Amino acid sequence: MTRVRYFAAAEEAAGRAEEQRSEATLGELRAALAAEYPGLGGILPRCAVLVDGERRDDEATLADAETVDVLPPFAGG
C-alpha cells in the first residue's frame, strides 16, 4: 500500500488529507483518483505528483513507493 497525501485544493477536492492506495502504477493511481473524486479529476492534470519526493511518469511502478504527494499549483511567493 502507498500513502497518498493531498495538499491545498487537492485535499479539498478529495475530502481528505491522506489515504492508503493499492494501484500498481502512477498512471493507474491518477485514473482511479480522477474517477473516485471528480473534483480532483478536474485539477489533477495541473498538479505536481511526486513519488517519494520525485516527479515520475505514469509508467512508474508504485510497488516499492512509500508516499505519493499530490500538489496543486500554488499562488504567491
What's the predicted TM-score (pTM) here?
0.92
Q: What are the phi and psi torsion angles at 72 (to 5°)?
A: -70, 165
pLDDT at residue number 75: 59
Distances, alpha carbon 52 to alpha carbons 8, 18, 38, 69, 75, in Å? 19, 14, 25, 8, 24
pLDDT at residue number 76: 55
pLDDT at residue number 19: 98
Query: Average pLDDT for consecutive 10-residue bins of the chain (77 residues)?
Result: 96 97 97 96 94 96 96 74
Superfamily of domain 2-71: Beta-grasp domain (3.10.20.30)
Could you say which DSSP state residue 25 is in? B
Length in residues, the chain: 77
Q: Which helix (H) or strand (E) holds 6?
A: strand 2-6
Could you say which DSSP state residue 53 is in? T
pLDDT at residue number 35: 97
pLDDT at residue number 72: 93
